[in-house]
Every structure is written in structure tokens, then in C-alpha cells.
A and B are shown apart, each in its own frame.
Chain A
């Protein structure tokens, strides 16, 4: 077996600019970035980490049913999300909190899901939500939805026209555990067959709850799509610049009618799978230390400092993160509990006699106890 090329990387672990071999084709995307964009990347990552911590705390205090942190995966998510264009569609798994935020979703929608007041948090058809589709908990199912969506884009002729404001790509997020699901593989079959404008974005965080990626695959995962006829690349997912540039290139290719592609972002889940998990049972200290030393936010902070970012900037981000988290905490505690309407009203979009009958029965039953409950 030939040695695969190294993952695309622009920032060394210490934050110095050191493009990897084979990264040339992505360099123009890096060179086009402004200082403001750099600062935005940092702000995105730092604020969402603070949000993650706040939500984990809220869960520990009994205010959330569950919290799936994204700690450690911020660069993979911010880079890819910032590479999307307004008209693109995003199909997440359930950990892409910062992608939702970047696309314009009020991420209290995610809090509602995880607190347990709703099953779905935002209206994907509302333009302010940036075509960010609903979180999907059954692993891998969303890869087929994204592929079908891309088939529709093709049928609509909304790729390859050369208009950068209407040609549309789809990016779908999934994890290393999901790569073993049949749906992910069927999605690659359909995407290749119909040449859909789909970017498969794998966040390989090395763990499917407690099972290491070596159980899912005996080859690097980015090599698998090549057997489906889908070009692929591996990127250092803890390097926000690399994640951005690689995503931008492949999203451009998709919009330009070049069909699907696949990005494996090598990253690491620093924390637990969710708050119900106990990673001390399976993670080893050495591996954790290796990845903590590659923390995406610290690395980018070092890069910005080399470039001369001011202390005032970092203090400002710190304040924004803190304010954001405080606002989330306040709004979480104010969330109303769901009512009978939530149970029945949207099971079907058109009237259904059984549901109507059961809703009326429950309302009468509840009323039989008298007064407000």
C-alpha cells in the first residue's frame, strides 16, 4: 500500500503558518482571507466553546435532558461553515452547534431540543435560518436527505450555470461512527450516480461513544469514498484555515457542477460523547494529551498573536462569549413547558380523525381535574 499524502494543513501545532505538502491548490482560498475574517473565525470558535460549557453546566444542574458538546471540533465546524454561501444547504448531525449559529439560527433552538421542550427547534424554510436543516439523531439518515436534496438541485438546474449567487451546494455532516451505517454508503452510491452537488463532511473525532475508529475502518476513512467514485481529501480538522480552504474548494466544485466530494476532518472529541457518557472508561491519557496539545482554539490564537492581534480583541471575544452564555442560561430557565398542542398539532399536516379525537379526549380529561394545572 502506498503511503497516503499528509492531511491538508496550514497551521502547525504551534500556530505558525506552515502549509503541508499537497496544500497548494487550497492556498488561494487562504490568501483571499482578510484579518476581519480571521478574527471572525476565532470569535466563532471561542464563543461556541463557552456556550458548550454553559450547556454542559445546565445539564449538570438538571436544566437539560442531555448535552452533546462539540469541544475540540470547533475548527472543523467553523472552517466548513464559513466556507458555505448564502444559498447553500446544510444537513447537520446533532453536534454542529456553531454551524447553526453561523448560518443564522438562534441556537436556543438546540437548547430547546436538549432541554426537552421540543423535538425540532427551527424553521428551515425561514430565510434567517440559513438553510440549516434539522438535527438528526438516527445516525447517517441525513446523508441521504442531503443527497436527495442535491438531486433536486440538479433537476432544478441550479448548479454549473456560473452564477456564484445561485449555483447551490449541499454540505452534510456526520461522524466516524456513522460511516459504518448503510445509509452513508447508500448516500455515496446515489450521490455518485446522480452526480449531486454534495460535500460529505466527515468529522472523524476518533470515537463513536466508546468505540475507537479503528473498529469502524481498517483504512483511513477518506479513502473509502474513492471506491464509490467520489474524490476525497483528508484535512487537519483542528486547523480552521485548512478546514475553511478545503471546504471552500469542494463547495465551489459542487456548485460548478463537478459532482460530489468527501472531506475527512481529523479531529478529536475532547469531552464526552454526551453528558450521559463517561469517557474516563475508554479514553487514554496519552491520546487525550496529544489532542489537547492540538487544541484548535489555542492554535489559532497563537496564529493571530503572531499576526499581531491585540489583547483588546481577545478580551472583547471573552466578553462576548461570557455575555452569550449568560443570555443562553437566562433564556433556558425561562423556556415554557410544552402544552397539549405540542403533542398533537403537527403529527400530520392535514386533519387526522384519530389525532383530533385523542386531543379532545386529553383536553377534557385534564379539564376534569378543574382549574389551571
Chain B
């Protein structure tokens, strides 16, 4: 079994290369992704290997990138678009929500839209405005899109390939604060399907659910809790649309307590959706109200005070304490 230690960014790079090698209809497009390799170097070296017809340094226009990707998909290509930063996706929002998401339904099954939109997202990198957002709820709310977010290099390697293989559009959120730490990548086999959630740590007293960079934080919280005799189960969502509820409901049935963790603001969020669904489907198992740990419902602040805005290990443990107090 071939296992390599790779940072998440390099794992995506390797996954992209694999997909491009396997299928010559796969092409990459975005701002600065070719010669420079992207501002996070996720696509480093790919243009040199595959050429400028497979890796397009596009004009600087996000709607143009997604709109032309739709046209390329209609021609039989499988474009993978990079949006440079989370907060820069909005110029493309119209093309994503009114066209990309809707064409399959509009075509009554005669069209597929195999387009992947990669979006580096989230905070903890000390960046200025528009560079630290978590906008996944906008996309999860839109019928016709699939939304995923890997938290480990192994998932990143496989999920990018599975997203490219999907005949539906996939919004692929990359937790940018996790780009650099290394982890094992099994180059032989995928651990689970694209839309499966994953039990990242087993426990018995309460369940933590989250995605992306939050998974690392939840695991740290679980480790600290264990040192105080509290056993937390941690579930990595991996997929935000659809959400694989079975492992979550199984876990809540076992623990009776759920804390949903997310970097996004809490109002009308993915965490709210999970809380509502668990309340509907596992009501008799719950020993405490579902608690959300989120950012505040204010604009993502200047980086010098991001630590006040963002949930952290302590806020997760504070929520666990409240849950256990019931």
C-alpha cells in the first residue's frame, strides 16, 4: 500500500494531476493558477506538466470563469475552477446559482454539469477583509449544487478526484489554514464515498460535529476533554450538501448530546440545519438541547481580533460543559 505524507495543498495538487492524467477532458481554470501555481500554490507545476490548454490563467473575472466553465462543460469538458479567495466568489454567484446549479434540472436530465469550483475558505491565517470567510451556507442552500469540504490530506486527495468525477456541480471548500500541515495520503484507495461523513474519534459522553478546519479543533477539544475524563465523539461532516446524517444520528443516539461546531456565523447556517434535523429525528435520544458553536453574526473582523470572533477549543469545551450540565 502506497502511503505518502503530504500537506493538504499538495494532496489536492496530486489529486488534480491524477484526474487530469486519467481524463483529458479535465482542465483547470482560474486566476494566477498557471505560471504562478495559484496564490496558495495548490496548482504548482501543473501547467508546466499539462500545458496551457489544460491549465488556463484566465482573465480576472470570476463570473467569466464560471460562465465559460459552463460552456466548456456543455462541450464535454470537466472544468475545475479556482476562486482565489472565499470572499471573491460573489461576482460568480449569479452564474453558480442561476445557471450552473439549475441547468441539469432545466434540461430535464438531458444535461450534466460536471464542474468543480474550488474555494479556499476560512480564517486563522491573519488576512485582511474578504480573505477569511466561510460562505458555505449560501451554496448549500442552492438546489442543484453539491458542497463538500475535506479536513485531511487523504480526504483532500480523494475528494477532489471524486468531485471531478461527479456529473453534478461540486463546490469544493478547501480549509486554507489546513493547507500546510502534513498527513498520510493513501494513494491506492479512497476511504469512503464523497458524501459520507466520518467518525474521526469515538466517544460516549457527547458528540461534536463539524467540517473543514473545525475538525482539527474538535479533535483537540476531545483530547483535552479526555484528560478530564470526558469522552467526546467527533464527526467530520466532509459533505455539506447532501449531509450524511446516519453517523450523526447513530452517535447522538449513543451520547444523547450534540455540539455543532463551525467557523461560519451561526444565523441561518449549516450548523442550524443540523441542529434542526437532529432535533426532528433523534428527539427522544437527546439529553440536552443541541448547542451551536459558531462565529458571531458580524462581518469577519480585522485579523488582529479574529480570535475574538472565531470559535476555538475553549469555546467548544464551554459548550460541551453546558450540554453535560443538563
Q: CB distance B69 to A148 under 8 Å?
A: yes
Q: Return the contact of A152 from the options B63, B76, B108, B195 (Cβ within 8 A).
A: B76
A79 within 8 A of B: no
Q: CB distance A124 to B107 under 8 Å?
A: yes
Q: How distant is the Cα of A349 from the Cα of B146 in the complex, in angstroms?
A: 11
Given known contacts A152-B76, A155-B77, A187-B67, is B242 in contact with A346 (CB within 8 Å)?
no
Shortest beta-carbon distance, A260 to chain B, in Å?
13
Q: CB distance B67 to A183 under 8 Å?
A: yes
B168 within 8 A of A: yes
Q: Return the contact of B98 from the options A126, A141, A150 (Cβ within 8 A).
A: A141
Q: Return the contact of A346 from the options B76, B108, B244 (Cβ within 8 A).
A: B108
Q: CB distance B70 to A145 under 8 Å?
A: yes
Which residues of B106-151 are within 8 A (CB) of A?
A: 106-113, 143-144, 146
Q: How distant is the Cα of A187 from the Cα of B66 in the complex, in angstroms?
A: 11
B183 within 8 A of A: no
Q: CB distance A146 to B77 under 8 Å?
A: no
Of the listed residues B98, B103, B108, B168, the one surrounded by the most CB atoms of chain A closer than 10 A to its CB is B108
Q: How distant is the Cα of A347 from the Cα of B166 in the complex, in angstroms?
A: 14
Which residues of chain A have C-beta atoms less than 8 A from B91's C-beta?
A: 182
Q: CB distance A147 to B67 under 8 Å?
A: yes
Q: How distant is the Cα of A156 from the Cα of B76 in the complex, in angstroms?
A: 10
Q: How distant is the Cα of A136 from the Cα of B242 in the complex, in angstroms?
A: 27
Stretch at the interface among B53-61, B255-263, B307-315, B318-326: B53-61
Given known contacts A138-B99, A155-B77, is B167 in contact with A350 (CB within 8 Å)?
yes
Number of A residues, CB within 8 Å of B:
42
Q: CB distance A346 to B107 under 8 Å?
A: yes
B75 within 8 A of A: yes
Q: How distant is the Cα of A124 from the Cα of B108 in the complex, in angstroms?
A: 11
Q: CB distance B63 to A134 under 8 Å?
A: no
Which residues of A297-338 are within 8 A (CB) of B?
A: none
Q: CB distance B94 to A120 under 8 Å?
A: no
Q: CB distance B74 to A148 under 8 Å?
A: yes
Q: CB distance B94 to A125 under 8 Å?
A: no
B181 within 8 A of A: no
Q: CB distance B68 to A183 under 8 Å?
A: no
Q: How distant is the Cα of A193 from the Cα of B68 in the complex, in angstroms?
A: 12
B72 within 8 A of A: yes
Which residues of chain B have C-beta atoms less than 8 A from A149's C-beta?
A: 71-72, 74-75
Q: CB distance B77 to A346 under 8 Å?
A: no
Which residues of chain B have C-beta atoms less than 8 A from A342's C-beta?
A: 108
Shortest beta-carbon distance, B281 to chain A, in Å?
11
Which residues of chain B have C-beta atoms less than 8 A from A155's C-beta?
A: 27, 53, 77
Q: Return the contact of B111 from the options A125, A183, A187, A347 (Cβ within 8 A).
A: A125
Interface string of A100-144 (1 = CB under 8 A from B): 000000000000000000111001111000000110101001011
Q: CB distance A148 to B104 under 8 Å?
A: no
B64 within 8 A of A: yes
Which residues of A62-106 are within 8 A (CB) of B?
A: none
Q: How distant is the Cα of A338 from the Cα of B218 in the complex, in angstroms?
A: 47
Shortest beta-carbon distance, A36 to chain B, in Å?
34
Q: CB distance A145 to B105 under 8 Å?
A: no
Q: Return the contact of B63 from the options A125, A151, A182 (Cβ within 8 A).
A: A182
Which residues of chain A have C-beta atoms less than 8 A from B244's C-beta?
A: 353
Q: How distant is the Cα of A132 from the Cα of B115 in the complex, in angstroms?
A: 21
Q: CB distance A141 to B72 under 8 Å?
A: no
Q: CB distance B105 to A133 under 8 Å?
A: no
Q: CB distance B107 to A146 under 8 Å?
A: no
A352 within 8 A of B: yes
Which residues of chain A have a CB within 8 Å of any CB of chain B? 118-120, 123-126, 133-134, 136, 138, 141, 143-153, 155-156, 182-183, 186-187, 189-190, 193, 342, 345-350, 352-354
Sample of 20 further A-B pairs with CB below 8 A, known A147-B68, A151-B75: A120-B106, A123-B108, A123-B110, A124-B107, A125-B111, A143-B67, A144-B95, A148-B75, A152-B77, A183-B63, A186-B61, A186-B63, A187-B68, A190-B68, A193-B59, A346-B107, A347-B144, A348-B144, A349-B167, A350-B166
Which residues of chain B have a CB within 8 Å of any CB of chain A? 27, 53, 58-59, 61, 63-64, 66-77, 91, 94-95, 98-99, 102-113, 143-144, 146, 166-168, 195, 241-244
Q: What are 18 A-B pairs at a CB distance below 8 A?
A: A123-B108, A124-B110, A125-B111, A141-B67, A143-B67, A146-B71, A148-B67, A148-B69, A151-B75, A152-B72, A183-B95, A186-B61, A186-B67, A187-B67, A187-B68, A348-B144, A348-B146, A349-B113
